[in-house]
Every structure is written in C-alpha cells, then in structure tokens.
Amino acid sequence: MKLVFGMACDSSCYPDFQGGIEGVFGAAVVGPLGLLSAVEVQLGLTRPPASQAARVACYAAKLRAALEAQPDLFFAQSVTIDPWATAATLLQWRDELVAGGWTIAAAGPQRPGALALVERSGAKLPDGVADRLQNVCRALEAGPSLSIQVLHLIEALEILPPHWRTLIEKLCRCGVAVMEPQAEGQVAAGDLGLLQHFMAAGTTGQLQGDGSFVHVKSDTALSGAEAIAEWLSHGTEEELQGTVVISEDGDTALLDLALEARGLPALGQSVASPWRGALQVLPLSFAAAWAPFNAKALLDLLMLPRPPIPRKQARKLAYALSREPGTGGARWANAWAEIEADLDARVAGGELTRTDANRRLASWREWTSGSNYARTEGMPASRARAIATRVGQWALQLDAGKDDPLLLSVARAARGLAEAIDMLGLETLPALLLERMLDQVLADGAKNPAHIPKAGGLRCVRSPAAIWSEAPRVIWWDFKGPGEKAPPSPWTNAEVSALAADGCHLEEPATFARRTALAHANAVRRAGERLLVVTPALCGGEHTTSHPLAHQLEPMVAPVRDRVTWRAEHLFEAESLLLAGRDLRRERLSPTTPPQERAAWRLPEAARARLAARVESATSFERLLDCQMRWMLLEVFRLSRSRVAEIPGPDQLLGNLAHEIANSVLRPGAPGDPTAILAEAQAEFERVLGAIATPLQQPEYAGELAAARSRVPQALSKLAGMLGEMGVEIVGTELERSRDFGQGLSVGGRLDLVVRHPVHGLGVIDLKWSRSANRRRTEIAEGRAVQLATYGAIADHVGSGRAQGAYYLLNQRRLLGFVGSFLADEAVESEQSLEDTWTAMVTTWRSWRDLAQRGDLVATGAKAAEVHFPADLPLTPGKEPCQYCELTGLCRVAAEAI
C-alpha cells in the first residue's frame, strides 16, 4: 500500500489519486485521521468510536470523583458554576497532553498533576483521537509488519505536530519508506512564475500583469461570484479539468448559483450547521418539556419542514396553539377531537386497526402533551434519556434505510445525548447542564443535504494545503482574512518545560505558524498556469479583512497593483473585458421598468362574482373604509400571507385572556358583586393563563404579566360595579349575532358583552386591551366608531332595534361612550350619533361595492387616488390608509427601490 499524507487531506483534496489517473488500487491520499485509521486496521485496534458528548460527560463524572478525594483542586469553583463547560475545556487540555506523550505516572506541575488525579478517578474515559494515537504508537514499538510500503509526505516532517511526527517516525522504524516532499522548481511562466520564485527564494521581480496572476476585488461576494463564473464559462470543457477552487469557509452556495446559471457544474460545498430543520427536533423537544410551558417551542416543533408527527395533524395543533397558546384551552381540545375523529374514520374504513390508531394517538400526544419540569429543579435523567431516545427512533423510522444525511445526523446526536446522560451519572439534570449537553451533541451540525456537487471538471478543496500536486488553474474563492490562527495555549512556560522533561512534547506556536504560512503559499506554488484570488469588500453583511497571504505578497504586488487587480463590477459595465487571458463577451440588456404604483385597477368578471352572498363584519367594514383594494383582496378573495401559525404578541394575549375571564365571570343576569367578581377573576386568571396564554409566563414578559395579574381582575370588578350602578342586566358574553339588511348586505359578528337597560334597551360593550385610550376616543369623536356602530346594528337578533355602544378599556378601566348614552361612564363629544355612523357606513359600503361590481378597484393610498373615489362618500379613507397594510407591495405604494 502506498499512502500520500497531508495535514489537510482528511477532507477533499486534489488530485484524488497519485498520478492524477481515474483510480488506483492499493494507494490513497489520507489526512491524520485517515492515516490513523489505516494503521489501526492493520494492527487490529479498531473499535466503535465514542461521541464527544459521551467523553465530556464521562470526564465531568471523573472531575466530581476527583473533587470528592481532593476538594481544593484548581478547577473546583468552575465545576460548581458550569460543570459541562469546565469538563469540555479540561478534556481538551487532557487530550493535548495525551497526544504529546503525557502519562499519569509523571504528574508534573500542579495543573497537570491535578489532571493526573482526575485520570485515576472514576470510570475509564472512552478513547479519543489522542488515546487512539498513543495506542497505535505503543503497538508499533513491537515492530509489527505492515502492508504500507511507502508514505509520501506533503508537508516536511519537521513542521508536523509532534504527535503525528512521532507516529510517522515509528512507522519508519517498522519498515515503511517515508518520502519527504521534493523541492519543486519554478513551473509557471510570467507573473505567476515570478511569485513562485519570490515565495521560494525571496527574490523580487517586476510583475507585468499578463493575467497569470489576478487579484479579483469586488464590492460584494455576489459580484465576485459572477466574475468567476463568467470567466469559467468562457473556457473550454477541457479547461475545466484541472481547475481547483479553494473555499476555506466550506460554503460555495453563492458561487454555485452563478455557475449553474451558466450551465456549469456546482461545487456543492456547504457548511455544517446545527440549525438545519430536522436537527431542531431534539432541542425543541426539550424546550417544550420545561415549565412554564413554552408554547413557541412547541409551535416551532410542529411547524418544522418535517415535524415529528404527520404534517396534517401538526397543522391542526399549530393553528390551535397560535390562536390560544396553551394546551388547556377549547381550541386545543377541539384540535385533538378532530384528530381522533380522523383516526376513527380510518379505523371504520378499514385503513387502520384500532390498536394502530391508539398507538399513533399515544405517540402524537407524547410529542405534544408531555410532562413539564421546572427549570429551577431540573429534569430527571430518565425523562431526558426517554426524550433523546424518542427523537432518535423518530429519525431512524423516518429515514427508513434511505441514508438521509440529515436524519442520520439527528439519530447520532440523540444517541450521543443518551450515552452522555448515562455516563454523567446524575439522577437529575439541571436546565443549564442539559442545554450545554444539547449544544455539544449538535455542535458538529449537518451539511445541507440538498446542496451537492455535480459531475464535471471543477474541483473544490477547503484548504490550500489540500492541493498536493500541480493544478493548472487555481481559484481562491474566499481570499479574505483573518485566516487560521494558532490556538492559545493554556500552559505556562514552566509547565511546558516540566512536561517536556517528562517526555510530553507540545507543539510550539512558531511551528504551527510556519505550517500555516506554508499551506497558504501552497496555492501559489502548486498553480501551473493561472492563479485567481477573489476578495469581496463585504461578505455576509460584514466588512472583510486582508488575507495573511496578501500581506506576504505585498512586496511584489504593491508596485504594480493596478496591473494585477481586476474589479468585478466592471463585468456590468462593458461588453468585452479581458480577465486572466480570457475575453469575456457579454450582451447589454435593455433595462425593464418594474411595475409602478397604480391607483385604479380592473376586476375580471370571475372576481366580481365573489361579491355575491357575502357576509360582512366589523373588521371588513374597517378595511373597506381604509382601502377598497385591501377589502377586496383580504375579505373577498381571502388572500393571506401564508403564515400558518405564530404566537400572538403580549397585548393580544392579554386581550384574549381578559375576554376569556370576562366570559366566565360576567354571567347573564344581574351584575355580580364587585368584590366577589374580583376574587373570582383572580382565581380564573391563573387557570386561563395556563390554558390559553402560556407565553406570558416566560421571563421576558414578567413585567406585563405582573401588571396584568392586578389590572385584569380589577378591571372586570370595576366593570361589574359600573353595570350595577347603571341598573342593567347582562344578556350574555361572546354572543354570535347576524342580520340581513337587504339589498345584498348581510352582517355578522361576535359581541363581547351585551347588556339590557329597562328603559333604554340593549347596549353593546366592546372590551379592548390597549396601551392608550387615544385611538378609541378619537374614533368616537370623529364619528368613525365603525365597530360599535356595526355591533349596535346587529345586537338585536329578534327585532330591528339598534343598541347603544361603548368601549371598555381594560388597561385604563375606562368606559368610553357617546354623550347622552346610558353606557357612557366617560362621555365623548361626537360629530354624529352611532346610528348616523351606521347609516354612513352602509352608504359608503354600497358605493364601494357598486364600484367593484362595475369592475373598478381603487388603491386609496396611491397618488391621485381621489379622482377614482365614488361621488359623495359619507366616510372617506383616513389620512394614512397604508400605515398598517400588508399589501403595499401589490399595489406598489411601497415598492422596493431598484
């Protein structure tokens, strides 16, 4: 077996095989982990690897055991504050020492000595890479016969980390021929050759700007991607072969879009992220198991692209949760009733057995209605392990042998968490510790499974050091800083010296820096014909910095910067441009004027047919009053933003809470005693809070919740007292009312509170939770209280009478009504009566409706829209009809700047 070894070759490298042929037998290019695995196989030392989370958990248990024996160890306080982070950090230190040849027999200075005590305490730590490396080195001491004949080194042996250098030296003693890298002469012509000579010998020369080396600078990464894709598209199919793209951050999504737009193969590199959709099932499952109940976490779980329960059932529950954020309300119960009815129908139809239906129902309930544990007390380890096991089983069942990389990542993370919980050895897991463990198992993340490379000549590597043979054309896609830096060493000089005296050799920062610098220079050294480096000024919204190699090349580039620099934005300005020896030909396109703001629109006949048999509401009237187009799109066409579910804000939650409590304590008949209503409302508040408004229990809403606990019961108590003083009786709360007014006008709605006065008849009180009373007072004063007018018109469901109306502002405990109304605790002077407002609203509705039936639609917020208004409108649109409208992108009132 012949191996090529390079520190950056555990991931993609170029070329794949020695000699650049299509394939070989008995040879491979390997990195440190690849070499270690190859030797382990030959020595029979392979074993299933333990997850890093399991190793950290085991080390945390060992730290506890060591502190029991000696409580004054240097890490004692850190373990008390954050045991997981402390264990993870100290395990990293320990692995560094083990890799360098450290043994617990030679304890050394205080901190290594403390780690030696930890090593002897508790259960044996599962092997990591450093342990595997030392196991292999010890096995090689016996001089076994290996099938590896030759090991070619990409980097010189002297600049390798000490532990890998030790392994290679031991392989050499076992008969493996270790070949140092050969010094390469100048292979390129022109500017690139001068740069190679400069990097090798330090001698300078005059760059001519012949295109063999080009520094492409762009304002944004998008412009850089366009430039590189354009350059590649102007080459031949043969020239794609041997073109290597360096992407140090591992993400080529932006460049791939530009490549695919020109019919070129995508590189398909993506960064592993812990935020991929399916990976969120694990943390969200735990977030939904804490008390107070986190409705948003459960909603996010249900709204994932692949939720843990079937999408149809998940949507029902998500919608119920968005309307009443809790698991004790009527909507949640109704959603489960619908789900059970669906299962019963499938059982009746023979599609499912009753046993299967019950099993599925129990599984779905387990995902959404499990026990909740107080964060201050922690979660039982058995429960945490059960959640992790359930998530892992779900991922494997959903994968069903298809090898979906994302689902397999979920299964590995869940299994790692379960192993970590077992090794930690705690009966109860504090919330912070459990979250640290989740972060650990998800740290590796997963790559985008939809972003894959396509067949073609282009190749991509993450490190310039992964190019180990000549590449005709090299493109450094993200040539920006800060570059790789040496990790800070936790050890003092005295500790390093003492460890070295005991045979533990740690890598010096100077060696790391030298190896990194040579890796950067490798991109220049390996390029055979051309080298293009791309530096965007902005990337991901952040300003970029210069790459370390750019500083290294500065003596050569600075005198002739204009000759070797090419602005990517020139691509959009000229029809013919020369870049790196290729003439880029482009066609100028005539700019197209985007759709402009329009006030008048035409409706097709099919759209007008929707106007028939409509039932209007107070909300639809308010939308019509603001803008006819908004009314048509939202109310008639039922257009929506496609947002299936979201948790309401605190004001809406408080309003819903107050309405629900009022519905319980303000019962039909004579108003109750205010003191009794107060006590009943206070008790009802806590019940309803946990049923339909659990987000208010989260810490960020502590202030609002504390105020609401006092204000809502007091507001309802005061309202009961006001009603008693008025001498009215309560007809009911949350009453559904509808009425047909003829000539195509039917109106329906739900009335918050209806009362009856023995003399004045019916009255409607609309409950509002708002931060200010100004808006409602202005509505009454200007005669635009459409909601009250509508409710007053439909309140009497048995006769044709009209009810008086008032707003009760719960937050301010004010009952705003019209002057002369029996409902007015705080009377407001109005330009017209409530009945006049209703008459004006009906007339306005008929005018806009008739206009729509003729096929005319008006966006009232557009310029010069007034000329299209119907004549003599009693109620005209407000001054800012578009202020709260979500449709301004359609009528182009608020079109994006081009």
Q: What is the pLDDT of residue 203?
A: 83
831 near 783, Cβ under 8 Å?
yes
What is the distance, to the nearest Å, from the Cα of residue 285 to the centroid of all Cα atoms in its chain?
16
Centre a 10 Å sphere on the Cβ of residue 414 and count the other Cβ atoms it contains: 25
Tell me the domain boundaries of the chain. 2-179, 198-270+451-585, 278-441, 650-844
Query: 371: pLDDT confidence band, cut at 50, 70 and 90?
Result: confident
Determine the Cα–Cα distance for residues 140 and 854; give it in Å rounded to an integer: 92
List Cβ neighbours of 741 (8 Å cut-off, separation of 6 or more): 747, 793, 842
Tokens 């819903």 -> residue: 656
Residue with tokens 């700047």: 897
β-pair type (745-757, 615-616): parallel
Please determine, for residue 741, whether its predicted confidence score (pLDDT) is greater than 50. yes
pLDDT score recorded for residue 19:
58
Separation between Cα atoms, residue 324 and residue 333, nearest integer Å: 11
CB-neighbour burial class of residue 573 (10 A; exposed 0-12, middle 13-18, buried 19+): exposed
- 409-423, 579-593, 600-614 — most confident range: 409-423
The predicted-structure confidence for 390-437, as pLDDT tens digits, reads as follows 999 999 999 988 989 999 999 999 999 999 999 999 999 999 999 999
Cis peptide leading into 15, omega within 30 of 0? yes
Average pLDDT (379-387) is: 95
Q: What is the pLDDT of residues 813-847, one digit of tens each?
A: 999 999 999 998 899 999 899 999 999 999 999 99
Tens-digit pLDDT profile for residues 249-302: 889 999 999 999 999 999 999 988 898 889 999 999 999 999 989 999 999 999
Going by DSSP bridges, is the β-strand pair 27-30/150-153 parallel, antiparallel, or unpaired?
unpaired
Is 80 exceeded by the pLDDT of residue 694? yes
Is the pLDDT score of 735 beyond 60? yes
**Mean pLDDT throughout 673-680?**
95
Q: Which residues contact 414 (CB under 8 A, 6 or more apart)?
A: 282, 388, 389, 391, 392, 395, 441
Three-state DSSP state, 746: strand
Containing 622, the helix (H) or strand (E) segment is: helix 618-626
- Please, are residues 435 and 53 in contact by the beta-carbon 8 Å criterion? no
Q: How far apart are CA 302 and CA 308, in angstroms?
A: 7
Select from 127, 403, 427, 421 the least CA-distant residue to 282.
421
Instruction: Report the CATH architecture of 650-844.
Output: Alpha-Beta Complex (3.90)
DSSP summary character for residue 504: -
- Is the pLDDT score of 17 beyond 90? no
| pLDDT at residue 55, as a whole number | 96
**What's the pLDDT band for 644 if we cut at 50, 70, 90?**
low
At 898, the pLDDT band (50, 70, 90 cuts) reads very low
173 is written with which tokens? 């003693």
| CA–CA gap between residue 649 and residue 632 (Å, rounded) | 27
pLDDT at 719: 95
3-state SS class at 490 = coil
Residue 603 tokens read as 């409706």
List pLDDT tens digits, range 97-143: 999 999 877 556 789 999 999 999 999 999 999 999 999 999 999 99
Torsion angle defined by CA atoms of residues 305, 306, 307 and 309, in that order, rounded to the nearest 10 degrees: 140
Q: Look up the pTM and report it.
A: 0.85
Q: Name the band, by pLDDT with cuts 50, 70 and 90, for residue 897.
A: very low
68's enclosing H/E stretch is: helix 52-69
Q: Could you give the CA distance from residue 369 to residue 328 in angstroms, rounded to a whole number?
A: 10
Least confident of 65-74, 377-386, 496-505: 496-505
469-478 pLDDT, tens digit per residue, is 989 999 999 9
Q: Is 390 left (phi over 0), alpha (psi -120 to 50) or beta?
A: alpha
Q: What is the DSSP string of 200-258?
A: HH---------SSEEEEEEEEHHHHHHHHHHHHHTS-HHHHTTEEEE-TTS--HHHHHH
Asked if the peptide bond before residue 449 counts as cis, ω within 30 degrees of 0, the response is no
Rounded (10°) CA dihedral 868, 872, 873, 874: 170
The CATH class that applies to domain 198-270+451-585 reads alpha beta
Which pLDDT belongs to residue 24?
67
Average per-residue pLDDT in the chain? 91
* pLDDT at residue 62 in the model: 96
Tokens for 17? 């095989």
The pair of structure tokens assigned to 521 is 């220079």
- Note the pLDDT of residue 590: 82
Q: Tokens 């309300």 map to which residue?
A: 329
Strand blocks (E) in 559-664:
565-567, 576-579, 582-585, 600-602, 615-616
> What is residue 13's three-state secondary structure?
coil
